[in-house]
């Protein structure tokens, strides 16, 4: 009889005894959603590939505007306009400007853009600038988002919508991912009937099969239904062996405690090696873990609440281990690394990275100018600054949600 283990010991055991499955396949972006990236993706290009304006307005030389104001505008010659989706060969001399739309190319010579709201068109080929500009203002520079060699996404990341966006931005339209795990689901018990039948005396509907299949799908694995098996050790052993042959992991539910008819433990021991029988949690104590090679054989308690709890707490991390998937529980509490300004009057959503420093989670905001999708993809989560709040001092505790 194996001793009952604490939950954290079980997670350690999982890491120690199982390793990521090496198989990968290359899929196109639509199929990559919800899959685990098998290798880090590095950019081979600059994004953006040219200096861009983040505002509708005029590109100009910042120093031509120093000291200007509403009362004494800087008056600049209008050299023409940049069109969306086109480059520009205009060279802008001093005391001149060019109209640029949001996202338009910044012409050579200019070092900032001013919003149209802070200008006045005099209609005679000159533009008045009403506010001094700083170099770099309202620009995204070539390579600000990514540059060749920069890691866009780390291996092990579960690819979600923002990651698909980042991959599209760098032109990676096919990526190596882990194959979806095929997980066998077997329910055992003489009393069980399929959920679409009416129970007779002493019978109960099989809850675990549909529930565990749904949990596996929600997680991103492919459940394989092996049906309901009666409490017959020989039949169960044959089914479990066939399941282990076909699938990456096997989940049995029911028959996991020490009753006369509770065969799961013996069967798992015979098919492979028993690693664990009993976890110190309530509900979910009679949980079994074994393996044949790198394939987990899991015995869950029959009681549906216990089966769900143990599956959520231990089976999903186990599957994540097999996929090399990096996982984090959300929401989590973390402290901000630096002080943050907020836009008063609007709720501010701050994408952030999370790291553990001396056992505390630290949230570092991802500084993102408009449109830098890979920075969002590199984030671990986000926290909110309320619209009534003007900012947060460094070290403020925030709640970080999963992106
Ligand atoms: P066991 O782990 O086989 O001793 O079952 C414990 C309790 O869970 C018993 O009341 C079973 O009837 C019930 N049970 C076992 N498997 C299932 C299942 N698949 N769906 C619903 N209830 C189940
Ligand atoms: Mg039973």
Whether the CB of 253 sits within 6 Å of ligand 1: yes
Q: What 3 state SS string does 151-183 have?
A: EEECCCCECCHHHHHHHHHCCCCEEEECCCCEE
Residue 189 in contact with ligand 1 by CB distance below 6 A: yes
Residues 6+ away with beta carbon under 8 Å from 148: 42, 43, 44, 45, 46
Q: Which residues in 164-307 belong to E strands, given as ranges?
A: 174-177, 182-188, 192-193, 204-205, 222-229, 249-253, 273-277, 288-292, 295-300
**What is the pLDDT confidence band of residue 371, given thresholds at 50, 70 and 90?**
low
Residue 140: per-residue pLDDT: 96
Give the CA angle between residues 399, 385, 356 to the nearest 5°.
35
Please give the number of the atom of ligand 1 that sits closest to the Cα of 256.
Answer: 2
Q: Per residue in 45-66, pLDDT tens?
A: 999 999 999 999 999 999 999 9
Q: Is 378 in the pocket of ligand 1 (CB under 6 A)?
A: no
Ligand that lies nearest to the alpha carbon of residue 199, given by its number in the listed order = 1
Q: What is the number of the ligand closest to the CA of 190?
A: 2
- Taking CA atoms only, the protein residue closest to ligand 1 atom 17 is 302
pLDDT digit string, tens, across residues 327-340: 655 578 999 999 99
Residue whose CA is at the smallest distance from ligand 1 atom 16: 302
Q: 101: buried, middle or exposed (CB in 10 Å: 19+, 13-18, 0-12)? A: middle
- CA geometry: angle at 33 spanning 223 and 44, to 5°? 140
Q: State mean pLDDT over 16-38.
A: 96
CA of residue 188 to ligand 2 center, whole Å: 6
Ligand 1 proximity of 2 Cβ (cutoff 6 Å): no
Which helix H or strand E contains 142, and what residues bound it? none
C-alpha 298 – ligand 2 centre gap (Å): 15
Strand partners, 5: 279
- Which ligand sits nearest to residue 193's alpha carbon? 1
- Which residues are CB-neighbours of 259 under 8 A, at least 6 positions away? none
Pairing outcome for strands 139-140 and 340-341: unpaired
Tell me the C-alpha distance between 262 and 267, whole Å: 10
Evaluate if residue 229 carries a pLDDT over 90: yes
How open is the CA angle 326-350-343, to the nearest 5 degrees?
180
Q: 161 CB less than 6 Å from ligand 1? A: no
Ligand nearest to the CA of 228: 1
Cβ(82)–Cβ(110) below 8 Å: no
Q: Could you tell me if the CB of 190 is within 6 A of ligand 1? A: no
Q: Cα–Cα distance between 271 and 252 in angstroms, integer?
A: 13
Query: Looking at the predicted structure, is the pLDDT value of residue 37 above 70?
Result: yes
Query: What single DSSP character describes residue 13?
Result: H
pLDDT at 282: 80
The Å distance, Cα 204 to ligand 2 centre, comes to 11
Over the stretch 241-283, which tens digit does the pLDDT of each residue have? 999 999 999 999 998 877 766 789 999 999 999 999 999 888 7
- Dihedral, 308, 309, 314, 315 alpha carbons, nearest 10: 0
Q: Which of 218, 137, 236 is nearest to 180 (CA)?
A: 218
* Residue 206 Cβ contacting ligand 1 at under 6 Å: yes
Q: Is 299 in the pocket of ligand 1 (CB under 6 A)?
A: no
273-277/288-292 β-pairing: antiparallel
């Amino acid at each position: 009889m194996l001793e009952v283990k604490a939950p954290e010991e079980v997670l350690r055991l999982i890491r120690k005894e199982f390793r990521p499955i090496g198989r990968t396949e290359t899929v196109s972006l639509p199929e990559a959603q919800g899959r685990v990236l098998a290798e880090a993706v590095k950019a081979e290009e600059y994004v953006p590939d040219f200096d861009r304006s983040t505002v509708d307005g005029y590109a100009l030389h910042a120093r031509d505007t120093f000291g200007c104001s509403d009362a004494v505008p800087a008056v600049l010659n209008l050299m023409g306009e940049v069109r969306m989706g086109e480059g520009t060969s205009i060279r802008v001399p001093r005391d001149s400007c060019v109209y640029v739309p949001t996202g338009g190319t910044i012409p050579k010579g200019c070092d900032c853009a001013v919003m149209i709201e802070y200008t006045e068109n005099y209609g005679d080929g000159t533009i008045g600038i009403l506010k001094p500009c700083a170099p770099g203002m309202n620009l995204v520079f070539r390579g600000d988002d990514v540059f060749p060699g920069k890691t866009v996404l780390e291996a092990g990341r579960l690819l979600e919508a923002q990651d698909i966006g980042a991959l599209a931005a760098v032109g990676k339209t096919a990526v190596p991912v882990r194959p979806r795990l095929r997980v066998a689901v077997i329910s055992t018990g003489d009393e069980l009937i399929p959920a679409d039948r009416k129970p007779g005396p002493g019978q109960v509907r099989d809850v675990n099969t549909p529930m565990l299949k749904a949990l596996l799908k929600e997680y991103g694995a492919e459940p394989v239904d092996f049906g309901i098996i009666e409490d017959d050790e020989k039949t169960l052993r044959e089914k479990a062996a066939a399941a282990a042959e076909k699938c990456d992991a096997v989940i049995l539910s029911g028959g996991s405690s020490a009753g006369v008819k509770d065969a799961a433990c013996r069967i798992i021991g015979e098919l492979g090696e028993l690693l664990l029988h009993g976890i110190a949690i309530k509900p979910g104590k009679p949980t079994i873990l074994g393996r044949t090679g790198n394939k987990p054989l899991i015995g869950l308690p029959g009681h549906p609440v216990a089966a769900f709890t143990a599956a959520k707490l231990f089976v999903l991390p186990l599957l994540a281990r097999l996929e090399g998937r990096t996982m984090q529980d959300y929401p989590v509490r973390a402290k901000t690394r630096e002080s943050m300004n907020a836009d008063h009057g609007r709720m501010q959503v701050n994408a952030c990275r999370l790291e553990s420093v001396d056992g505390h989670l630290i949230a570092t905001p991802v500084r993102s100018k408009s449109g830098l999708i890979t920075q969002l993809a590199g984030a671990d989560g986000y926290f909110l600054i309320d619209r009534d709040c003007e900012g947060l001092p460094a070290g403020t505790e925030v709640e970080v949600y999963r992106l």
